[in-house]
Structure 1
Amino acid sequence: MKQIYVNCSNGADCESIISALYDLYDNKTEFLNVINNLEIGDINISFKDRKINNRVFKSVSNDYINYNKGKEIDNNILEEDIPLDSLYAYEVGYDDYLKERATINNNVTNENNEQSNSEIMDFPLDGLYAFEVGYNDYLKGRSEFQKKEQDVKYEESNDFPVDSLCAFEIGYDDYLKEMIKNHEKEHEHNSILLNEINNIIDKTNLDFNIKEDIKNIFSILTLAMAKVQGIDVSEVHFHKDKIFYDITYVCGVAYLINKLNVKKVISSSVAVINMSKNADSSYYIVNEILKGIPVHVKENTKNLTPLAAAVIKYYSDEFIDDLSIAYNNIGYGIGEDEDIFLEVFIGDYNNQLIPEDKVISLLVDLSDMNTNEIDFVFERLLQSGALDVYTIPIHKKNGYSSLMEVILNPEDEESIVKEIFKYTKAFDIRRKEYDRYVLDKKVENIYTKYGMVRFNVAKGFGVNKVEPEIEDLKEIANRENITLDEIDFK
């Protein structure tokens, strides 16, 4: 059984989480080959050593290979910027604007002890001139000027829908709306939605359960973003120039937790900073994600990033601060900001006997079904993912019958319930949920005098079990013409 304890009291980001898990993982070359072959946005990640206080820690490094980063669009057009814009003349009048600009230029002249005539010389070529002469006359005038001075023919159709001169014709307020629309379109072009992220994840060659973990993490993040922004989940946009990094990091975290065979994750309570004033949107997104999770306010600390908060919320089974740990190893991770420092302990905690798995039990009355029909049901249910299927003889008022019990993982419940109703004569199914103790089990191929044989190796709770695979024993018995009891591996 493997459990990890995540100490995130000094903040956390995805870089620090993946670095700490990578520090724990033995087959580092294999991990890098898998992650860098996912080809998510052509991102390549590696890890470098960073020396802090005479200690060397792992830190993630990343590079784009063939991806052209899009420029981030500022979607906010601030009212206070407009008085410095040529559009201001539309509202206050061309003459008043010239006087205002002349005053500014004279002030600059006095400071620099230089004479400036820019308030007079520039305007025949300036867009504001159109206010007096008319938009169409201005276009003609500019075209003629360009022909004379630059021998460049002005092309009327391309620039002006987003040019400040357009305001003269359509009005100042309508122009601002049009400008915001254009920015929003450019922003959407440089962003992707949650369903597109899920498509990217589905196209990777990662195991199904790892893909589901990754998609669930991004769902947590998206729901929080939608709540903070006051929009629907389907309208939440992620910037392309960052999201490919984030997807790659989360893929790495999910892959490492799976490969480390972690059964339970315990985290420290989360340190948050008191930042109610002048906080950016990420602060409120983190607070939304952390609802229901133990937190403590800590001054002079680094807050979790929204994605790190989603990762910790998804994987953590408990949040405990005072935890005695019998650990086998520690992974250290440094964040993008070196003030973010994460520790991940792996081992047994408190030496407690803790159920680490949950299973579902479904009970079905098989009245009026013969043995052949029941055998067929067994085959179908085992093919559908049932962990175990067996029958128990029962005595009813009308005679004897069989009660079938099906043991399954919670994620397979819906599909197996459908199979039971389809292939049995039952009208109802009873359900129980159990905690389950499980040994840490894996299959190893071991060379013996009979050739290569699969062995089930299970460890945990102070025991170490090694049992040969029954199908391999049958094959040996048939080949050697001996009984199962006569097989001896010594």
Structure 2
Amino acid sequence: MKQIYVNCSNGADCESILSALYDLYDNKIEFLNEINNFKIGDIRISFNDRKINNNVFKCINKDKIDNVNKEKKSNDSSNEEDFSLDSLYAYEVGYDDYLKERATINNNVTNENNEKSDSEIMDFPLDGLYAYEVGYDDYLKERNKYQKKEQDVKHEQNNDFPVDSLCAFEIGYDDYLKEIIKNHEKEHEHNSILLNEINNIIDKTNLDFNIKEDIKNIFSILTLAMAKVQGIDVSEVHFHKDKIFYDITYVCGVAYLINKLNVKKVISSFISVSNMSNNADSSYYIANEILKGIPVHVKENTKNLTPLAAAIIKYYSDEFIKDLSIVYNNIGYGVGESEDILVEVFIGDYNNQLIPEDKVISLLVDLSDMNTNEIDFVFERLLQSGVLDVYTIPIHKKNGYSSLMEVILNPEDEESIVKEIFKYTKAFDIRRKEYDRYVLDKKVENIYTKYGMVRFNIAKGFGVNKVEPEIEDLKEIAKRENITLDEIDFK
């Protein structure tokens, strides 16, 4: 079984974790085809090498991500920064000064980007602030004539208040600004999505069900922390569309690669977090909220995990270790959005190291003065409570023979099982042992045979491959075919 060790002592973001895992994965073309076929917000990702201190790290190629969206954003940005679109500026500086400033801006625009002549730019219907001089009513009349002439139906229907900015002339600039703020809030809601919408996006991918659930759980961890820090309900947490589409794509990539790498256990380094500073932003508090219950080092001038990286590490990590000895087969190196965010991922195989993979608890109970029927009832109750195994061992005591019951269970079930044993037995004490346990990689598969569908237990690891039919299915076959268990032959 494979394990990975994630060294995020130099901080981590989603990009650096994904890049390090990508560096480990052999079939890189398959991964890129799969992840880019999701078309989440038309995001496309690729990777390249970045040299830092003479070492090569994988990083997401920002120059080739979502070129269509980048062009759209660039156009939007240029429009927002264009002086002429901030027409209400004229109301404060004066119309004549406004025209001079706009003329200066227009002179700087190349013919390639703006083929209109100065006379076209100064056309009455496009120059709404002309109303400041001619009067708002006369302006509206002229504009209506122009709209009918140009059949500008779209503009006529979309006569929302902020679009008709000259309304400020009638209601006053302060009231106009209040309306603008309200509209910006509405626009913010339009440009954001909620957790349930993120889950819908994830459901539409062709990922396996268990991978989708991993991704949803990661965003659920993030959303809960954001709600706590912002003091709002989870249902009110908004994610900005421009950023969340990238984040969803990155987390899908992380979950996909962990599954494809056949990782059974994730071990993380202790997390380093900086002490609170006066300029800490909301992401600092959200990440700290996520990291509750995880071992951390509080240091000066250290690079924190981003909230999404913290959610990934918290969800996948089975253990946090300060110092780890590991025999690894490969290392993945990833750099984040900032060059000082570096993540290493070591991958190794348990089977090659002969490291016990988990722990179990053994409870020993003396069943003196209990008859067979009472012991059978205890067995039944314990098995229903989820113990891994229970059996009796005959023992010879000074007063005669008795039975010693051994119960094998997972550590997290210990408290409840101890209560069950005291409740259903006559024991006054329970002895306890803790064992390390080697475990084969086990799964159950339904296989069609000449007897019909039969469940088989398949176990691999440590150089062996075991296939055994489920005993309950064998019993059913024996009853149905009127044969013994030994006579069942799947050949």
TM class by smaller structure: 0.5 to 0.7
Q: Could you tell me how far apart the structure 2 residues matched to 1:64 and 1:240 are?
A: 13
Residue in 2 that maps onto 1:254: 255
With over 3 angstroms needed to count, the CA separation of the structure-2 counterparts of 1:406 and 1:324, relative to structure 1, is closer
CA contact 1:268–1:319 (8 Å) conserved in 2: yes
1:212 Cα deviation (Å)?
2.1
Q: CA RMSD in A?
A: 6.1
Report the Cα distance in structure 2 between the residues aligned to 1:25 and 1:253, rounded to whole angstroms.
Answer: 11
1:345-356 aligned at under 5 Å gives the runs: 345-347=346-348, 356=358
Q: Is 328-337 or 435-444 further displaced after alignment?
A: 435-444
Give CA deviations for 1:372-406 in whole Å, capped at 9, x if unaligned. Answer: xx9xx9xxx9xxxx8979899xxxxxxxxxx9x99
Local SS of the residue matching 2:289? helix
The structure-2 alpha-carbon separation of the partners of 1:60 and 1:157, relative to structure 1 and needing over 3 Å to count, comes to closer
AA partner of residue 332 (structure 1): Y
- For residues 470 and 240 of structure 1, what CA distance do their matches in structure 2 show? 50
Q: 1:26 to 1:85 in 2, by over 3 A?
A: closer
Task: Verify: 1:294 aligned to 2:293, yes or no.
Answer: no
Is the 1:325–1:348 contact (alpha carbons within 8 Å) kept by the matching residues of 2? no
Provide the C-alpha distance between the structure 2 equivalents of 1:60 and 1:137, rounded to a whole number of angstroms.
56
CA 1:144–1:73 in 2, change beyond 3 Å: closer, same or farther?
closer
Say whether 1:222 aligns with 2:223: yes
Distance 2:360 2:254 in 1: 23
Query: 1:401-443, CA deviations, whole angstroms, 9 ceiling, x for partnerless residues?
Result: xx9x998999xxxxxxxxxxxxxxxxxxxxxxx9983524257
Provide the residue aligned with 2:313 in structure 1: 312
Find the counterpart in structure 2 of residue 431 from structure 1.
none
- 1:99 and 1:207 map into 2 onto residues whose CA distance is 64
Q: Which residue of 1 aligns with 2:58?
A: 58
Q: How many equivalent residue pairs?
A: 422
**Does the Cα contact within 8 Å between 2:50 and 2:59 map onto a contact in 1?**
no
Question: Which whole-Å deviations, capped at 9, do the CAs of 1:295-353 have from their partners, x for residues lacking one?
Answer: 33353x6443221121112222333333333333322122233332211123379x896
Give, in whole Å, the separation in 2 of the partners of 1:99 and 1:46: 49
Q: Identity of paired residues, percent?
A: 62
Q: 1:136 maps to which residue?
A: 137
Aligned to 1:469: 468
Distance in structure 1 (CA, Å) of the matches to 2:204 and 2:231: 31
Contact conserved, 2:147 with 2:156, CA < 8 A, in 1? Answer: no
Cα pair 1:45 1:60 within 8 Å, conserved: no
On the 8 A contact 1:11/1:341 being kept in 2, the answer is yes
| Equivalent position of 2:167 in the other structure | 166
Shift in Å at residue 286 of structure 1? 2.5
Q: Is the 8 A contact 2:43 2:245 kept in 1?
A: no
The one-letter code of the counterpart of 1:295 is: H
- What secondary structure does 1:323 align onto? coil
What amino acid does structure 1 have at the position aligned with 2:6? V
How far apart are 1:294 and its partner, in Å?
A: 0.6
Which whole-Å CA distance do the structure 2 matches of 1:63 and 1:358 have between them?
48
2:251 aligned partner, one-letter code? V
Structural mapping, 1:168-207, within 5 Å: 168-207=169-208
In structure 2, the CA distance between the partners of 1:484 and 1:330, relative to structure 1 (3 Å rule), is: farther
Measure, in 2, the Cα distance between the counterparts of 1:124 and 1:251.
Answer: 49
For 2:128 and 2:316, the matched residues in 1 are separated by 58
Residue in structure 2 matched with residue 270 of structure 1 by the alignment:
271
Aligned to 1:112: none
Give yes or no for the alignment of 1:18 onto 2:31.
no
C-alpha displacement of 1:208: 3.2
Q: Show the 5 A alignment for 1:428-447.
A: 437-441=437-441
The corresponding residue for 1:41 is: 40
1:342 aligned counterpart, secondary structure: strand
In the superposition, relative to structure 1, how do residues 127 and 48 fare at CA in structure 2: closer, same or farther (>3 Å)?
closer
Compared CA separation, residues 101 and 286, structure 1 to 2 (3 A): same
* Equivalent position amino acid for 1:181 in 2: K
CA separation in 1, counterparts of 2:179 and 2:329? 61
Letter in 2 for 1:441: D
Q: Does the aligned pair in 1 maintain the 2:355–2:438 contact within 8 Å?
A: no
Separation in 2, partners of 1:87, 1:43: 35
State the shift of 1:102 in Å: 11
Q: AA paired with 1:5?
A: Y
Contact 1:49 1:56 in 2 (8 A): no
Q: Name the CA shift for 1:440/1:124 in 2 (closer, same or farther; >3 Å).
A: closer
User: What is the CA distance between 1:51 and its match in structure 2?
Assistant: 4.5
Residue in structure 2 matched with residue 282 of structure 1 by the alignment:
283
The structural deviation recorded for 1:17 is: 0.9
Offset of residue 482 of structure 1:
12
Matched letter for residue 2 of structure 2: K
Q: Quickly say closer, same or farther: Cα 1:72–1:188, change in 2 above 3 A.
A: farther
C-alpha separation between the residues in 2 aligned to 1:409 and 1:45? 45
Deviations 1:262-294 (A, max 9, x none): 343222233345673444443343333334541
Q: 1:88 to 1:33 in 2, by over 3 A?
A: closer
Instruction: Give yes or no for contact 1:269–1:296 (8 Å, CA) kept in 2.
Output: no
1:232 and 1:469, CA in 2 relative to 1: closer, same or farther beyond 3 A?
same
Aligned pairs for 1:66-465 (under 5 A) are: 71=73, 87=88, 97=94, 127=128, 130=131, 134-140=135-141, 158-159=158-159, 161-162=161-162, 163-273=164-274, 276-291=277-292, 292-299=294-301, 302-347=303-348, 356=358, 437-441=437-441, 456-459=458-461, 464-465=463-464
Q: CA deviation at 1:125?
A: 8.9
Q: CA deviation at 1:354?
A: 5.8
> By how many angstroms is 1:7 displaced?
1.1
Quote how far apart the aligned CAs of 1:236 are.
1.9
CA distance in 2, matches of 1:71, 1:65: 10
User: For 1:165, what is the secondary structure of its paired residue?
Assistant: helix
- One-letter code aligned to 2:211: I
- Please state how far the C-alpha of 1:247 moved relative to its aligned partner: 1.6
Q: What is the one-letter code of the residue matched to 2:40?
A: G
8 Å CA contact 1:327–1:345 kept in 2: the answer is yes
Q: Deviations over 1:59-117 (max 9, x none)?
A: 3346449879864999xxxxxxx9x9664776x7xxx8569879999xxxxxxxxxxxx
Asked if structure 1 preserves the Cα contact closer than 8 Å seen for 2:95 and 2:129, the reply is no
The alignment partner of 1:52 has SS state of strand
Which residue in the other structure is 1:451 paired with? none
Tell me by how many angstroms 1:183 deviates: 2.5
Change (3 A) 1:178 1:343: same
